[in-house]
Amino acid sequence: QVKSREVEALMNKHLPKRTTAILHDLGRTGDQLDLTVYAVGGFVRDLLLDIQNMDIDVTVDGDGILFAETFAAQFGCRVKSHQKFGTAVIVFPDGFKIDVASTRLEYYVSPGALPTVERSSLKMDLYRRDFTVNTLAIALNGESFGKLIDYFGAYRDLQSRVIRVLHNLSFVEDPTRVFRAIRFEQRLNFKIAKHTEDLIKNAVKMEFLEKLGGRRLLSELVQILREKEPLKGIGRMASLGLLRFIHPSIELTPAMQGALEETRYVVSWFDLLYLERPYERWSVYFLTLCEGLSEEQFLGTCTRLAVAEHYKERLVEMRKEGERLIAALERKVAGSGKVENSEIYFTLRGLPVEVLLYHMAKSRSAEVKRCISLYFTKLDGMHPQIRGEDLKELGVAPGPLYRELLDLVLSARLNGKAASREDEIRLVREVLGGV
């Protein structure tokens, strides 16, 4: 068994000083109110695994909201509470947050009625959780600070690196746990226990996952695709027969495996460029998974998964537009062998990063891949040096001609035919002279 001293030593080694100090403060507030306070769940799991996790979840044996309010008043924090659930969030002045839950819930069934008090214990509370590795708690009160509480063999499972449910109905109660099991298995490099895997297979066979709404399904899928190594999670989803919940025709064929590996390669390449162009990495994998779907099927899938309306429109529209533009680029490459930088730029401009990366991975043409790569690394950041004001000085009346002239100048710059501001002005003069 792990001793309190060892847990404290882990805290001192792995947590920022401030976090450890806050944990002590939480315990002291508990002492004052005569409430027992624990750090629980993922935070404890990751502390023992030496993984950075700043999401502190606290459970109070008693009234968690009173606890949160008292703590906040003492330390200048704000509190957001949910009476109905007996939960609160303590928000520090710098935005740092701590989630507080109560093992005892008190709620009103109807206005004016006496509160229904549901008593529970820490053990009951932890028993409701998904996997043993998430059921550890650390006591925070003064005397017992650092005491590890392990009711369900969590420490043993952490040591043997196993994801195990607490009871046979876990996936029936909450089918999203099927995806959580995969996510934790891949992220932590654990193994889903045999019996737990059988329960997953059973839940899939009994069609419990059909009950999951699209929104929840998407949220789980996105979390798997956002992991560092999404291919492992996708592989596991495939072997458990879960890809069909995205679309029945999606299968992990050797071709799809190859496409996903190429996607991973392209995404890693892009991330190493540090371009600071925000993008949704999960979408690139999602587009690859859906590459065999027709436009209609893709739209249907996005709708069923409740992809946010504005994002769905963008994804569907840009996927279609991307297909068209990349096909045009492929034809040009096949025809002339060489494409001018300006052609690359004006073809790809406006396509979202996600769609560009998807096509970069998908295209069979090495030259097209080179074009997209060149667009990201060089062309996309280029601008003409002259501006509208310069055109005005040159006597051009404001109007659509401005855009055309600036694009013309940009083309010359992209193709290495205008290196300076003077070159650009000369070019405009030439064009205007010829008008």
Residues that bind ligand CTP (CB under 6 A): 41-42, 55, 129-130, 134, 174, 176-177, 180
Within 8 A by CB and 6+ apart from 95, the residues are none
CA distances from 344 to 332, 358, 364 (A): 10, 17, 17
Residue 421 phi, psi dihedral angles, 5° rounding: -60, -40
Q: Kindly state the smallest distance separating residue 336's Cβ from ligand CTP, in Å.
A: 50
Three-state DSSP state, 15: coil
Q: Kindly state the smallest distance separating residue 98's Cβ from ligand CTP, in Å.
A: 13
Query: Is the Cβ of residue 145 or residue 171 nearer to ligand CTP in the bound state?
Result: 171
Query: Is the Cβ of residue 134 or residue 411 nearer to ligand CTP in the bound state?
Result: 134
Q: Kindly state the smallest distance separating residue 134's Cβ from ligand CTP, in Å.
A: 3
* Alpha-carbon span 3 to 57, nearest angstrom: 21
Q: Kindly state the smallest distance separating residue 190's Cβ from ligand CTP, in Å.
A: 13
Q: Kindly state the smallest distance separating residue 164's Cβ from ligand CTP, in Å.
A: 12
Query: Is the Cβ of residue 87 or residue 341 nearer to ligand CTP in the bound state?
Result: 87
Contact 61, 91 (CB under 8 A): no
Q: What is the DSSP string of 189-250?
A: T-EE-HHHHHHHHHHHHTT-GGGS-HHHHHHHHHHHHHSS-HHHHHHHHHHTT-GGGT-TT-
Q: What are residue 105's DSSP bridge partners?
A: 118
Q: Kindly state the smallest distance separating residue 41's Cβ from ligand CTP, in Å.
A: 3
* Alpha-carbon span 355 to 348, nearest angstrom: 10
Query: Is the Cβ of residue 27 or residue 175 nearer to ligand CTP in the bound state?
Result: 175
* Alpha-carbon span 40 to 129, nearest angstrom: 11
Q: Kindly state the smallest distance separating residue 215's Cβ from ligand CTP, in Å.
A: 14
Compute, in degrees rounded to 10, the torsion defined by CA atoms 195, 201, 205, 211.
100
Query: Is the Cβ of residue 180 or residue 359 nearer to ligand CTP in the bound state?
Result: 180
Q: Kindly state the smallest distance separating residue 144's Cβ from ligand CTP, in Å.
A: 22
* Alpha-carbon span 85 to 99, nearest angstrom: 12
Q: 290: closest CA among 372, 371, 381, 358?
A: 358
Query: Is the Cβ of residue 224 or residue 290 nearer to ligand CTP in the bound state?
Result: 224
Query: Is the Cβ of residue 53 or residue 70 nearer to ligand CTP in the bound state?
Result: 53
Query: Is the Cβ of residue 135 or residue 288 nearer to ligand CTP in the bound state?
Result: 135
Query: Is the Cβ of residue 55 or residue 393 nearer to ligand CTP in the bound state?
Result: 55
Q: Kindly state the smallest distance separating residue 42's Cβ from ligand CTP, in Å.
A: 3
Query: What is the C-alpha end-to-end distance of the chain, expressed in Å?
Result: 87
For ligand CTP, the nearest residue by Cβ is 42
Contact 245, 239 (CB under 8 A): no
Q: Kindly state the smallest distance separating residue 23's Cβ from ligand CTP, in Å.
A: 16
Contact 64, 87 (CB under 8 A): yes
Q: Which residue is it, tokens 């600071």?
A: 276
* Alpha-carbon span 58 to 25, nearest angstrom: 12
Query: Is the Cβ of residue 161 or residue 426 nearer to ligand CTP in the bound state?
Result: 161
Contact 148, 4 (CB under 8 A): yes
Q: Which residue is it, tokens 């999960």?
A: 282
